[in-house]
Amino acid sequence: MTPKSRLLLSLIGSTFCLFSCADKDSTESLDGTTRGYTVAATVGMIADIVSVVAGDNAEVVGIIGAGVDPHLYKPTSTDVKVLQSSDVIFYNGLMLEGKMGDILVRLARAGKPVYAVTEEILNDSDYILTDEEDHQDPHVWMDVQGWIKAVNAVAVALSDYDDANASDYRENASNYIAELEALDGYAKEKIASIPETQRVLVTAHDAFGYMARAYGLEVLGIQGLSTESEAGVKDIEDLVNYLVENSIPAVFVETSVSDKNIKALIEGAGAKGHNVVIGGELFSDAMGAAGTYEGTYLGMIDHNVTTITRALGGEAPEGGISGKLSDHSE
């Protein structure tokens, strides 16, 4: 990890737990329901779990929308105003929101309650994955058990901020975690049905490491942990050779990342006589469209697991764990 990265993580880590005693004015949501306070969340995966845990007690506003890459996202003046006006802020940490980090630090120093949902995980060095340059992998949500820890962190944070409704937050989190445990079991079972030699996940960038470790996949990303990294010609050539030599049947595009490099892989493998198809479009750094099943964390992971399993030769129902999936395959 670079000195600059360590400094930013240190600053955010030392300030996210500062609390504000500001008045919690009631907020009227878009559906007309009066709610007690406003919460801002940096990415959709966080906004979704916060919404579930908060229930009707808070209005949750997401900053980075569907199909948007948080690694490259630059906060707008409107985003800054939303963060400033919110009563509570949740972010991922682990450098996912690199370009938003300075703003989060300033708000926390000013007394705004700013929480990292990876707080519990940050203290577990054995859990955090790193790359060859010691950059920490922020894509914790790809492991359902890791995101269960995030749900617990949200419940604790909201209970600290709004003690009067703490029992609601604990109950909502408990009910939701039961659903996540079922999803985790589904992921283990379905990915295990993929023939062992074909449990290789090739994607645009290395966002699936936690998923690979949790569910028994090998993951190969053309780019590194962040989409700010560049893929070289040799990276493409090496992956093409791997696809050909191991008869990998499918590669995957991502909704928030350009498919240019993936198409280069397919063309390269084809030139060597090996037919590789796009196995589907995966949600990596962003969920699906708002208002859809895939626009929830449950739907995002259900879609990824089901798509990967079916494309690599395993057995999974087309509609996913509960039959709610849309068709996002190519």
3-state secondary structure the chain: CCHHHHHHHHHHHHHCCCCCCCCCCCEECCCCCEECEEEEECCHHHHHHHHHHHHHHEEEEECCCCCCCCCCCCCCHHHHHHHHHCCEEEECCCCCCHHHHHHHHHHHHCCCCEEECCHHHHCCCCCCCECCCCCECCCHHHCHHHHHHHHHHHHHHHHHHCHHHHHHHHHHHHHHHHHHHHHHHHHHHHHHCCCHHHCEEEEEECCCHHHHHHHCCEEEEEECCCCCCCCCHHHHHHHHHHHHHCCCCEEEEECCCCCHHHHHHHHHHHHCCCCCEEEEEECCCCCCCCCCHHHCHHHHHHHHHHHHHHHCCCCCCCCCCCCCCCCCCC
Percent of the chain at pLDDT > 90 equals 64
Is pLDDT of 67 > 50? yes
pLDDT class of 23 with cuts at 50, 70, 90: very low
Which of 3-12, 56-65, 223-232, 261-270 shows the lowest mean pLDDT across its residues?
3-12
User: Euclidean distance between the first and final Cα of the chain, in Å?
Assistant: 37
Q: Which residue has the higher pLDDT, 34 or 60?
A: 60
Per-residue pLDDT, 209? 94
- Please indicate, yes or no, whether the overall pTM of this predicted structure exceeds 0.95: no
Range among 98-102, 129-133, 210-214 rated most confident: 210-214
Q: Which residue has the higher pLDDT, 220 or 113?
A: 113
Is pLDDT of 46 > 70? yes
Please report the domains of the chain, with CATH numbers, ordered by start residue: 3-187 (3.40.50.1980), 192-311 (3.40.50.1980)
Per-residue pLDDT, 220? 87
Which of 91-100, 166-175, 304-313, 316-325 shows the lowest mean pLDDT across its residues?
91-100
Structure confidence by residue, pLDDT tens digits, 286-302: 999 999 999 999 999 99
Structure confidence by residue, pLDDT tens digits, 181-195: 999 999 999 999 999
Structure confidence by residue, pLDDT tens digits, 123-139: 888 999 988 888 889 99
Structure confidence by residue, pLDDT tens digits, 228-250: 445 567 778 888 999 999 999 99
Judged on CB neighbours under 10 Å (0-12, 13-18, 19+), 285 is: buried
Is pLDDT of 35 > 80? no
Range among 98-102, 166-170, 196-200 rated most confident: 166-170
